[in-house]
Structure 1
Amino acid sequence: MPMGKTPPKSFWLSYIVCAALMSAFTAVALLRPELFAGGGYSGPAHWRENSPAGIRFSGDSYRYISAGEQLAAGQGMVGLPRSYIGYIAVVALCLKCGLGLSGVVLVQWLAGLLGLYALMRIAWHGGGWRPALLCGGIYAGNPEFAFWHSFIMTESLYINAVCLAMLLCLWAQQRAKAPQPPGEAVAAQPRRQALIYGGVLALLFLIALIRPNGWILPPIALLFWLFNASWPLRRRLLACGVVCLLFVVIALSGGNFRKRIEQEGPFAKLYSGEVVWQEDLWRVNMPAQGQYDATLGDALKYVLRHPLACCRLALKRVGVLFLRVRPGYSLAHNALLIAIYLPLLLLATIGAAMSWKEPASRLAIMIILGHALIVALTFNDNDGRFTLYFTPQLGYLAAMPLLALWQKMEKALRAWRAPG
């Protein structure tokens, strides 16, 4: 079905059901915040005291609020954490408009509804209202997403921005490949395609301003478009290789970009074998750091000298990322997470095998692997947030085998009801 086609009533009914479920969980999050544990908060007490009880603070909340106040007061951007400037701008706008932190929560809830729509629209485009309902149900039925709407953190906005980015990438691919409109000059088609791809790329760069993980989205989009182009395979692979090389060169040579990478401290964590942020448990025994400094250049030399140990560390980080478990959680908590995420991963793997030739499934797989690559090269957070960045895409893939099961059950039911 074309991306621009208006969905039928069955889609909107499915969306309303899922949106109501997400909204109900959001209301529970605001009314019963004690149900969801948050991380430590070390900012000024007056923010917490002057905000409604349901608004949550954790980790870096103080950085975003103080920077938002500075921006709203017109004091410029000097000293602001620019890696998160997109989210800070949202906080500043809400403060400037008099909505306060309640406005930030409102924006995040609305972003959640938009992200849900984007994900369900993709699923509907692929197979109708049934996959849309399954995909939306998996997403909206996870209360963790709704609880993050109440936090003054980047997570809620970023998770749903990734869903929107997925829809935009698929829309751009379809629009660019659409037949040439009657009366359009032949020379105008490449220009139209460039405008479509360029416009979506610009939006992806804006999404990347929410938090640093978003910088993986522009290269993913380029690789997706190139690999799905109508060129010969060799030419597509060459173009994808150029994009990967260009991205690596920017990361290594761009002074500002490189500085932001080093500020996160991934190289010291590499030498110490850290799997989860500031957790001593589950560390991997790494070869001695020796003469290598905590810089990008020395870290690359260290990886080349000890490739097996570094691969082992990366694989353990990714394993912890996908299973969602954490050393600081209780045995019961980790068991519950495994009981939820292991079946989700198995279903998503089956779904990927069933539908990997479909553009939407390919893009979902690329988004999942791209975010996993970031963790493999850096670290896991200590509360599982990084897993949530691609859990909607896991849900999209997991809906595929569930849809096949649904269709088989419908077929069996019709056969049972048939006379004779």
Structure 2
Amino acid sequence: MKRILIVGGGYAGFYAAWKLEKRLRPREATLTIVDPRPYLTYQPFLPEVAAGSIEPRHAAVSLRRHLRRTRVVPGWVTKVDHAHRRVTVRPDPGPEFDLAYDVIVLTAGAVTRKFPVPGVTSQAIGMKHVEEAVAIRDRLLTSFDRGSVLPAGPLRQRLLTVTFVGGGFSGVEGFGETLSLAHSLLRRYPQLHRDELRFHLVEATRRILPEVGEPASRWVAQSFAERGGRVHLDTKVASTLDGHVVLSTGEEYDSGLIVWTTGNDANPVVRKDTDLPIGDRGQLVVRADLRVGTEAEPVADAWAAGDDAAVPDLTAGTPGRYVVQNAQNALRQGKLLARNIAASLRGRPTRPYLHHSLGAVATLGIGSGIFQYKRIVVKGLPAWLMHRGYHVLAVPTWERKIRVLAGWLTQAMFGRDIVSLESVEHPRRAFVAGGEPK
């Protein structure tokens, strides 16, 4: 039997394995997937996880539960030696070991792009994984608890100041959702006032949400301003040492929560630890049918999709354009991977990836959103409902759809759960201290 190895359990990797299980006969191939996390993170739900609108586990899809014929290997692939059909895996804990394969599928996903800004690695939180979104939510809730017993002053102001760096989808949605959560919390904290909240969204370019048109982008920025949020355009973060934010404009302030959402970098194993062809963008060179290589020089038994692959955009009409890296494309590429790999194993022709965008939709907080398809723009509550409708249909498995819908219904009836569980980051603290602070 052919040994198919999938590196990464994100959208593309999960869907490739899920659909291959259905397309391939049990004795036709073995499937193995390697990922440090035992679940797929449905990233479009992370802003709502950060705002307490979705239960964290409902944004995660278990690999072992839904991939029933696939061997799940927890660990990081640190090297790909395609010439010898072998990868090196680093588990946690334990020594590294090699895995052999016949066909490799690289869908390792991206990592958060970090810049050499002092203090970022020690102070900021990303928003690519469930645990990061949970930490953002708990940090904000804990800040309200602590601030409510402090007198007005610098320390209380620091706790009530939030900074998001990066004005793409993740930053804008996370900013809008946490701003919405903060305003709803004020009803439970009469000691705090709306004018004490300081929410900053810092973007290095001249506008936020480049995925939508400029008028829609301006409307989003204006809606944040009306809700008390500040959008800093053409501005970079110079330092975040000890939570003290210094902007390129010269403005300085203390921030109790800093969220870093400045885009993606290719996975390190793709950037520097593979013998497969890499393009100028640091991504794998991929043909339109998702096979690694070019039309003239395809690489046998190697496939890739998602954030690590420069997939030609056949809808652009001009050469040199690549498919946008987002969830909408990654999950569809995963399905096509399964079809094309099965076809290749059986000596049948493959299909190119061709997908016309369905538009861009973003949540800006409870009851507010933005949607754009070509020249059609929808704002406010209708766009927010479209966002929820689209993503509950897109999240994989009926089990997860039902759980998410049930959570939304519960929230609509009883409101958000505002209990912070930040203490779970230090589970032994209470045991060691004996119930008293040390």
Shared fold per TM-score greater than 0.5: no
Structure number having the greater strand percentage:
2
> Higher RCO, 1 or 2 (CA under 8 Å, sep at least 6)?
2
- TM-score scaled to structure 2, two decimals? 0.30
What TM-score comes out, normalization by structure 1 length? Answer: 0.31
